[in-house]
Amino acid sequence: MKILITGGTGFIGRSLINLLLTQAHQITVLSRDSDKVHSLFTNGITPLNDLQALTPDEHFDIIINLAGAPIFDKRWTAQRKQIIRDSRIKLTEQLIQVIASMQQKPELLISGSAIGYYGDQGASESTEKSDNRPDFSQQLCADWEQAALAAEKYGVRVCLIRTGLVLGPEGGILKRMLLPFKLGLGGQLGNGQQWMSWIHLNDWIAIAEVMINDQRMTGAYNATAINPVTNQEFSKTLAKVLTRPACLPLPAFVLTTLLGEMSELVLGSQRVLPQRLVEQDFEFQFSHLQPALTEILSQ
């Protein structure tokens, strides 16, 4: 199949593309940096610098939309928050315009979202049917999803993948956490009781693969493992796998001072369950945190 991917040079996108290449798909990657695309993928990739370069007779069977400016790299000033929104919502709107102009529409749009869709839920469990609590991340995800769902009016099947904290080698949250924990300087954040809904990278890739192949799948799915953990448990488990202590907690007031509004990403609590995936008999390779971390850190 012919597949267009945005965000293909990111942590998740790279792994997804490497899988799709083994299946002989023709992959086009939207990126301003063609050299980076060529350096990451040796064969079978066509770089695309601008969506406007696509003509109406261009056809893709599937579009996978993972693009977005990093949400945790810089303090959330008003300007940074606008960049975060535009890189997701405006790009998605541009994709919909491209789909509208295509003479032959794609069969499927898989569009990124995040469990930030639910807002801070405390200890309450959240499924795809749960209500949300407004904050910046929640509004961002809601608007992002709404932009993607516009493809349905063109007959396109839309799957929204509400991603939790993705665990994998060479990227994601672990890349940020490993050094202090390896040095024995890790610990819980705040009171440690906030819930963390995680997923192994391999399971995330498997979810995307099922979405591609199973035409029954449509709408929003929580891409999280079936056993979320508190931040305290996550910290203790990571330290255990690394055989290091985890005795240096970071108080909430320090995080709030350092990060400002962005501290909601680490102090907010989201106990998210993948109810729809379970109902559709998706089999997770990694359901528990310690085996997931052990597998990743053995690489």
Question: How much is the mean pLDDT over the chain?
Answer: 94
- Do 140 and 88 contact (CB within 8 A), yes or no? yes
More confident residue, 168 or 171: 168
Q: Are 67 and 88 in contact (CB under 8 A)?
A: yes
- 58: nearest Cα among 109, 99, 21: 99
According to the model, what pLDDT value does residue 27 have? 96
Task: Indicate the pLDDT class of residue 292, thresholds 50, 70 and 90.
Answer: very high
Per-residue model confidence (pLDDT) at position 190:
94
7 pLDDT higher than 90: yes
In 76-147, which ranges are E strands? 108-114, 125-126
Q: pLDDT band for 91, please (50, 70, 90 cuts).
A: very high
Beta-ladder partners of 271? 125
Task: With a cut of 90, say whether residue 236 has pLDDT above it.
Answer: yes
- Assign residue 24 a region (left: φ > 0; alpha: ψ between -120 and 50; beta: otherwise): left
Give dist(CA 4, CA 54) in Å, integer.
11
Residue 117 confidence (pLDDT)? 96
Determine the average pLDDT of the residues in 125-148.
95
Cα–Cα separations (whole angstroms), residue 287 to 161, 204, 278: 18, 12, 12
CA distance 116 to 137: 5
- Phi then psi for 114, rounded to 5 degrees? -155, 165
Q: Are 221 and 160 in contact (CB under 8 A)?
A: yes
pLDDT band at 262 (very low <50, low <70, confident <90, very high): confident
- Contact (CB, 8 A) for 87 and 30: no
Look at residues 65, 74, 70 and name the one whose alpha carbon lies nearest to residue 28. Answer: 65
Q: What are phi and psi of 214, to 5 degrees?
A: -110, 105
Least confident of 61-65, 133-137, 233-237: 133-137
For the segment 118-122, the average pLDDT, to the nearest whole number, is: 94
Q: Which pLDDT does position 42 carry in this prediction?
A: 74
Check whether 44 has a pLDDT greater than 80: no
**Which burial class, exposed, middle or buried, applies to 65 when counting CB atoms under 10 A from its CB (0-12, 13-18, 19+)?**
buried
| Separation between Cα atoms, residue 211 and residue 217, nearest integer Å | 6
Place of tokens 């192994």: 200
DSSP secondary structure string for all residues of 130-141: -----SHHHHHH
What pLDDT shows up at residue 34? 86
A 10 A CB-CB count for 148 gives 27
177-229: pLDDT as tens digits: 999 999 999 999 999 999 999 999 999 999 999 999 999 999 999 999 999 99
